[in-house]
Amino acid sequence: MLLFNNKKEKMKNEKYISVNENDDGIDRAGFLKCMAWAGTGLFCIMSGGVMKSFGMSQLIDKNIGALKKGLLLPKADFTFAQISDSHIGFNKPANPDVLGTLQAAIGKINAMPTAPSFILHTGDLSHLAQADEFDTLDQAMKSAKTGKIFYVPGEHDVLNDNGKQYLQRYGKDTKGDGWYSFDYKGVHFIGLVNVVNTAEGGLGVLGNEQLEWLEKDVKGLSSSTPIIVFAHIPLWEVYPQWGWGTRDSAQALSYLKRFGSVSVLNGHIHQTLQKVEGNITFHTATSTAFPQPQPGTAPAAGPMKVPAEQLRSLLGVTSVNYVEHNHTLAITDTPLIAAKETKMENQ
């Protein structure tokens, strides 16, 4: 075994190994590199099918943890927020208080100048799909000042039972494993499930039944209808080596090519990434629980421990402003640390 090879000399003089000098494989430099990259977040404006993005460092004054003076949120007909990967039940050093950071994310939402019309939670509500974990999440989400909360499951929500418990709790009026769509003020929202079926390497799978449903769901829509798709695992190949992609997403996206404005919101990778491909803008959100390393910068994906004082700058909430008349969509990723200050600024 690896440990024995490394400790041969030590073992020669010892009858038993008394100390396990475990190495987590991630060094401090790697942490800092990832933090700088993931903690900045993005501010995005989509117009005519093209999304323009701005780093949060351009918007947030790091000294006060709030929007820089003179900046205003774009005027919107309605707003909604996205939160993701709450992992209620997780209790490791990467974040021993996931409920506290979820509550901080909700605090951020509640501090918005205007309450969002609804919240999208893009999965991994729980860490181990336990009833008490779902109960805790539900209780916390009740404090969010919003009209409604829409969910899609993450792979942690469907452990062991292929998502039966998730469906019982959150799947009312949904199809199949929990997919659905709804319209709000001219925008068509589609919640997809890509965590119940699996593919080699941990990639997400939508499956034929859901793909057929999606094709029919958008068939009758005008090409000028703005589309917002949300699902847990990214619908683009972020880093397939870590399972950060969906095997049959290309087929799903082919049904959306004729639309002028398509935004895809995902979670799973616990960090902000954005990509524009033709008429489609892909956006992944930070987690409310713990950060993960930048693709390829660590041996594997997984909870990443960072200094306690820096944790909240890597967690966050995404808010979206939608302006109906020119179909502009603005997405802002806000680190949790800004919540308190923003609230004060708005009072």
Give the residues lining the site for another protein (CB under 8 A).
1-3, 16-17, 20, 22-23, 25, 127-130, 155-156, 159-160, 162, 196-202, 205, 207, 241-243, 296, 298-303
Smallest distance, another protein to C-beta of residue 128, A: 4
* Between 9 and 200, CB nearer to another protein: 200
* Between 126 and 321, CB nearer to another protein: 126
Smallest distance, another protein to C-beta of residue 300, A: 3
* Between 68 and 164, CB nearer to another protein: 164
Smallest distance, another protein to C-beta of residue 173, A: 22
* Between 13 and 20, CB nearer to another protein: 20
| Radius of gyration for the chain, computed over Cα atoms and rounded to the nearest angstrom | 21
**Contact predicate 179/141, CB 8 Å:** no
Smallest distance, another protein to C-beta of residue 177, A: 9
* Between 67 and 304, CB nearer to another protein: 304
Tell me how far apart the alpha carbons of residues 38 and 27 are, in angstroms, rounded to a whole number. 17
Tell me how far apart the alpha carbons of residues 205 and 193 are, in angstroms, rounded to a whole number. 8
* Between 26 and 262, CB nearer to another protein: 26
Smallest distance, another protein to C-beta of residue 284, A: 18
Provide the b/e sequence for 78-107 (b: ≥16 CB within 10 Å).
bbbbbbbbbbbbbeeebbeebbebbbbbbb
Mapped onto helix, strand or coil, the DSSP state of residue 181 is strand
Sequence-distant (6+) residues with CB within 8 A of 188 are 181, 182, 218, 221, 225, 226, 227, 228
Sequence-distant (6+) residues with CB within 8 A of 75 are 321, 323
Smallest distance, another protein to C-beta of residue 265, A: 22
Residues in the chain: 347
Tokens standing for 236?
A: 């683009």
Smallest distance, another protein to C-beta of residue 43, A: 32
* Between 3 and 32, CB nearer to another protein: 3
Please list the alpha-helical segments (H only) found in the chain.
2-6, 8-12, 28-38, 56-59, 98-110, 131-141, 164-170, 208-219, 249-254, 308-311, 339-346
